[in-house]
Amino acid sequence: MAAEPTDLVKMKLTFWHKGKVPGDTIEVRREDVRSWHGFAVPVEEEKPPVKAPTINETKAEAAAHKAKQA
């Protein structure tokens, strides 16, 4: 039976395993993560970078807010 995608955890190898080298990413079942201790570490999910508003955008938002209030 195949594992559901929500039951899989991405891990980065820290040791060689079945032809894979350290640094390779693998997927393991959530309940098997503990058994990989010492051989792999969980991969942090990459979050999209938060874009800081520019000065022009901030001024435009402030002007729009003032226009709403008027």
- pLDDT tens per residue, range 14-45: 989 889 999 999 999 999 999 988 899 988 76
- Measure the CA–CA gap between 14 and 66, rounded to whole angstroms: 55
8, 28, 41, 26: CA torsion to nearest 10: -100
**Is it the case that residue 12 has pLDDT exceeding 90?**
yes
Separation between Cα atoms, residue 1 and residue 3, nearest integer Å: 7
Over residues 56-66, the pLDDT tens digits come to: 767 777 777 77
pTM beyond 0.75: the answer is no
Query: Where does the pLDDT of residue 48 fall: very low under 50, low under 70, confident under 90, or very high at 90 and above?
Result: low
- Residue 45: per-residue pLDDT: 64
**DSSP-assigned letter for residue 1:** -
